[in-house]
Amino acid sequence: MSTSSRTHKALLLPFPCGILLATYVAGIALLSNALATEVSAAAQEGATRMAVYYPNTEPLGANEMRVIALGTGTPNFRRSQASASWLVELGNGEKFIFDIGTGSLANLGALEIPFTQLNKVFISHLHVDHIGDLDAMFIGGWVSNRTVPLRIWGPSGKKPEHGTKYAVDRMREMFTWDLTGRRGNMPSQGGHLETTEFDYSKSHVVYEQNGVKIRAWPAVHGIDGAVSYSLEWNGRKFVYSGDTVPNKWFLAEAEKADILIHECYLTVQQFIELKNYDPERARIVATIIHTPPQLCGKIFSTLKPQMAVAYHTFNDFNVTPDTLAAIRETYDGPLTIADDLLVWNIDDDGVQVRTVIGNDEAFPAPPPEPAGPPDPSERTERSKWLDAGRIDFSN
Ligand SMILES: [Zn+2]
Ligand SMILES: [Zn+2]
């Protein structure tokens, strides 16, 4: 597989040029002309892609993978950066979501993809910044025309109550009032969940269908019950760390990735200076629970992916330069500092990184097949006394 691509050439430039270009990739507009120039050159070679990605304007090639960042931040939710979520689209038409952190669903909605095609979600672990929008995905997705059950895969824990099934079942219980009111007034299938919980402690295949193979393996993060994932299809390989410190399972499983997404949180010093953590708390979070940038770079330089992607930090003017410099202490290969609504196209020509221009005022796309009518037998009627209080203004 070729490692040449327009973006690669740009990102392979040595530090400090690397800082400038990866900062561009992080979405800072200052250098946007650089990529425009690159893409203009490509256009002259006959390529038809624009400098940015407008959703639903580019059919994928039969052998192509597209990855879109729906959330790249942390549990400190902010309008500029949602919490963790990734969409993987394949040339065979299939779509997979990895994590669904707080705020990410608005970015997903901006892509105007029918929700019926977005019914496979793989959870890396049960921290709120990785599942915070699962409720919106479940019920908001149903309201937004999903006509099939939402399917969720996720790890077990050391105890049943630390597992994905426990969390998803209680989420559904939390919305008992909501679900009871909708059933019988909406086509029912989209209002169902199917949860597959798998053993967090093994490296194994957790999904295999239509030539798509998804593996999970233990991640070392918080308590027992976090995993990392790979998705392999048609010779392409996507790897997603979830949250983890560097570990032996990751090094064994994440080789030969086309795109390798790894968490990269703040340094100990940044936790102290930017978040007012005391030194001991900063040390624990930065080095025992998460991966600091220097070690993230070490993961990348050891595994040598076609494109390395660092996420799970703050893309701010006073953070990104230090993050990038720290990664560059240990890694000088192709790199993206992830930001929300960046898109990576992966095909035989390599990896191309661009910005997505989504629709902030998107309405839900219609389902590919019309949904049937609601089943009135599922309906829970209001109390007669309450209904009798309605005022009829029709006359
Ligand atoms: Zn976490
Ligand atoms: Zn996290």
Task: Kindly give the distance from the C-alpha atom of residue 74 to the centroid of ligand 1, in angstroms, as a whole number.
Answer: 9
Domain range list for the chain:
6-359
Task: Kindly give the distance from the C-alpha atom of residue 240 to the centroid of ligand 1, in angstroms, as a whole number.
Answer: 13
CB atoms within 10 A of CB 94: 16
Task: Kindly give the distance from the C-alpha atom of residue 305 to the centroid of ligand 2, in angstroms, as a whole number.
Answer: 22
Res. 152: pLDDT tops 70: yes
Task: Kindly give the distance from the C-alpha atom of residue 345 to the centroid of ligand 1, in angstroms, as a whole number.
Answer: 27
Q: For tokens 């969409």, what's the residue?
A: 87
Task: Kindly give the distance from the C-alpha atom of residue 312 to the centroid of ligand 1, in angstroms, as a whole number.
Answer: 10
The two tokens of residue 18 are 């690397």
Task: Kindly give the distance from the C-alpha atom of residue 263 to the centroid of ligand 1, in angstroms, as a whole number.
Answer: 10
Predicted pLDDT of residue 15:
39
Q: Where are the alpha helices (DSSP H) in 132-208?
A: 134-135, 141-143, 164-174, 176-182
Task: Kindly give the distance from the C-alpha atom of residue 343 to the centroid of ligand 2, in angstroms, as a whole number.
Answer: 20
Task: Kindly give the distance from the C-alpha atom of residue 325 to the centroid of ligand 1, in angstroms, as a whole number.
Answer: 24
- Cα angle value 78/84/85 (rounded, 5°): 120
Predicted pLDDT of residue 48:
65
Predicted pLDDT of residue 276:
94
Residues 6+ apart with CB under 8 A from 72: 81, 82, 84, 311, 312, 315, 338, 339, 340, 342
Q: How sure is the predictor about 47, in pLDDT bands with cuts at 50, 70 and 90?
A: low
Task: Kindly give the distance from the C-alpha atom of residue 263 to the centroid of ligand 2, in angstroms, as a whole number.
Answer: 8
Task: Kindly give the distance from the C-alpha atom of residue 177 to the centroid of ligand 1, in angstroms, as a whole number.
Answer: 29
Phi/psi-derived region of residue 234, left when phi > 0, alpha when psi is between -120 and 50, beta in every other case: left
Task: Kindly give the distance from the C-alpha atom of residue 367 to the centroid of ligand 2, in angstroms, as a whole number.
Answer: 32
Predicted pLDDT of residue 371:
83
Task: Kindly give the distance from the C-alpha atom of residue 389 to the centroid of ligand 2, in angstroms, as a whole number.
Answer: 48
Taking each helix axis from N to C terminus, what angle separates 32-44 and 17-25, rounded to the nearest 10 degrees?
80
Q: How sure is the predictor about 394, in pLDDT bands with cuts at 50, 70 and 90?
A: confident
Each residue's pLDDT tens digit, 2-19: 333 334 333 433 334 444
Task: Kindly give the distance from the C-alpha atom of residue 103 to the centroid of ligand 2, in angstroms, as a whole number.
Answer: 13
Closest Cα partner for 261 from 293, 216, 229?
A: 229
Reduce the DSSP state of residue 176 to 3 states and report it. Answer: helix
Task: Kindly give the distance from the C-alpha atom of residue 243 to the centroid of ligand 1, in angstroms, as a whole number.
Answer: 5
Each residue's pLDDT tens digit, 285-316: 999 999 999 999 999 999 999 999 999 999 99
Q: How sure is the predictor about 116, in pLDDT bands with cuts at 50, 70 and 90?
A: very high
Task: Kindly give the distance from the C-alpha atom of residue 130 to the centroid of ligand 1, in angstroms, as a whole number.
Answer: 7
Task: Kindly give the distance from the C-alpha atom of residue 217 to the centroid of ligand 1, in angstroms, as a whole number.
Answer: 15
Q: How far apart are CA 256 and CA 37, in angstroms?
A: 30
Reduce the DSSP state of residue 181 to 3 states and report it. Answer: helix
Query: The pTM is what?
Result: 0.88
CATH code of the domain made up of 6-359: 3.60.15.10
Phi/psi-derived region of residue 162, left when phi > 0, alpha when psi is between -120 and 50, beta in every other case: alpha
Residues 6+ apart with CB under 8 A from 1: 235, 258, 306, 348
Q: How sure is the predictor about 372, in pLDDT bands with cuts at 50, 70 and 90?
A: confident
Closest Cα partner for 168 from 150, 181, 182?
A: 150
112-134 average pLDDT score: 98
Task: Kindly give the distance from the C-alpha atom of residue 76 to the centroid of ligand 2, in angstroms, as a whole number.
Answer: 10
270-288 average pLDDT score: 94
From residue 205, give the alpha-carbon distance in Å to each of 216, 231, 280, 282: 6, 10, 38, 35
Specify whether the CB–CB gap between 159 and 167 falls below 8 A. no
Task: Kindly give the distance from the C-alpha atom of residue 40 to the centroid of ligand 1, in angstroms, as a whole number.
Answer: 40
Closest Cα partner for 51 from 41, 59, 63?
A: 41
Give pairs for 250-255: CB < 8 Å, separation 24+.
250/217, 250/219, 250/299, 251/299, 251/302, 251/303, 252/203, 252/217, 253/203, 253/215, 253/217, 253/228, 254/228, 254/230, 254/299, 254/303, 254/305, 255/303
Q: What ligand has the least distance to the C-alpha of 312?
A: 2
Each residue's pLDDT tens digit, 51-106: 999 999 999 999 999 999 999 999 998 999 999 999 999 999 999 999 999 999 99
Predicted pLDDT of residue 14:
38
For residue 106, the surrounding DSSP H or E stretch is: helix 104-109
Each residue's pLDDT tens digit, 170-228: 999 999 999 999 999 999 999 999 999 999 999 999 999 999 999 999 999 999 999 99
Q: What ligand has the least distance to the C-alpha of 99?
A: 2
CB atoms within 10 A of CB 214: 21
Name the percent of the chain lying above pLDDT 70: 88
Predicted pLDDT of residue 50:
87
Task: Kindly give the distance from the C-alpha atom of residue 80 to the centroid of ligand 1, in angstroms, as a whole number.
Answer: 20
Out of 18-22, 44-48, 102-106, 233-237, pick the least confident. Answer: 18-22
Specify whether the CB–CB gap between 14 and 332 falls below 8 A. yes
